[in-house]
Amino acid sequence: MPLPSADTSVLYPTAGPGSLRAHAIVLHVQPHGDDRELVLLDRTPAHPVDRAWPDQGPDLGTISTDEAESPLLDVVVGATDGTSLFVGDEVPVRRGAEGWALVVAHVLQAPTRIAVGDDVVVSVDPARRHGLSVGHTLCHLASLALNAAFAARWSKPAREDALGRPDFDHEAIQSSTIVPNGSVDVFRLNKSLRRKGFGTDGLAESLAAATESVTAALRGWIATDAPVRIERDGDGLGDPRYWVCDLPAVARGPVAGPAASARIACGGTHVASLGELGTASVSLGLGEDDGTPTLTMRCTATARPA
Ligand SMILES: [Zn+2]
Do 135 and 109 fall within a single domain?
A: no
CA of 58 to the centre of ligand 1 (A): 14
| pLDDT bracket for residue 96 (50, 70, 90) | confident
Instruction: State the average pLDDT over residues 5-21.
Output: 92
62-76, 198-212, 226-240, 255-269, range with the lowest pLDDT:
255-269
| pLDDT at residue 258, rounded to an integer | 76
| pLDDT at residue 222, rounded to an integer | 94
Question: SS3 for 204?
Answer: helix
Do 277 and 172 fall within a single domain?
A: yes
4 occurs within a structural domain: no
Domain boundary among 90, 124, 158: 124
17-21, 140-144, 187-191, range with the lowest pLDDT:
17-21
3 occurs within a structural domain: no
Do 294 and 206 fall within a single domain?
A: yes
Decide the pairing of beta strands 9-10 and 43-44.
parallel
Does pLDDT of 254 surpass 60?
yes
The total number of structural domains in the chain stands at 2
Do 174 and 78 fall within a single domain?
A: no
Domain boundary among 65, 91, 124: 124
| pLDDT at residue 252, rounded to an integer | 61
Q: Measure Cα distances from 184 to 111, 145, 160, 187, 247 in Å.
A: 37, 15, 22, 10, 22
Q: What is the CATH number of the domain that holds 287?
A: 3.30.980.10
Do 189 and 72 fall within a single domain?
A: no
CA of 119 to the centre of ligand 1 (A): 31
Percent of the chain scoring above 70 in pLDDT: 97
CA of 285 to the centre of ligand 1 (A): 22
Do 154 and 101 fall within a single domain?
A: no
Instruction: State the average pLDDT over residues 209-223.
Output: 94
Q: What is the CATH number of the domain that holds 120?
A: 2.40.30.130
CA of 5 to the centre of ligand 1 (A): 27
CA of 69 to the centre of ligand 1 (A): 31
CA of 118 to the centre of ligand 1 (A): 33
CA of 100 to the centre of ligand 1 (A): 24
Do 159 and 277 fall within a single domain?
A: yes
Instruction: State the average pLDDT over residues 185-202.
Output: 97
pTM here? 0.95
CA of 136 to the centre of ligand 1 (A): 6
| pLDDT at residue 250, rounded to an integer | 67
CA of 265 to the centre of ligand 1 (A): 7
CA of 266 to the centre of ligand 1 (A): 4
Do 168 and 142 fall within a single domain?
A: yes
Domain hosting residue 187, numbered range: 127-301
Does pLDDT of 78 surpass 70?
yes
Mean pLDDT, the chain, rounded, equals 94
Q: Shortest CA distance to 106 belongs to which of 135, 64, 134? A: 64
Do 156 and 245 fall within a single domain?
A: yes
CA of 38 to the centre of ligand 1 (A): 26
281 occurs within a structural domain: yes
| pLDDT at residue 100, rounded to an integer | 96
CA of 191 to the centre of ligand 1 (A): 26
State the number of CA atoms in the 13 A half-sphere of 114 facing the CB: 32
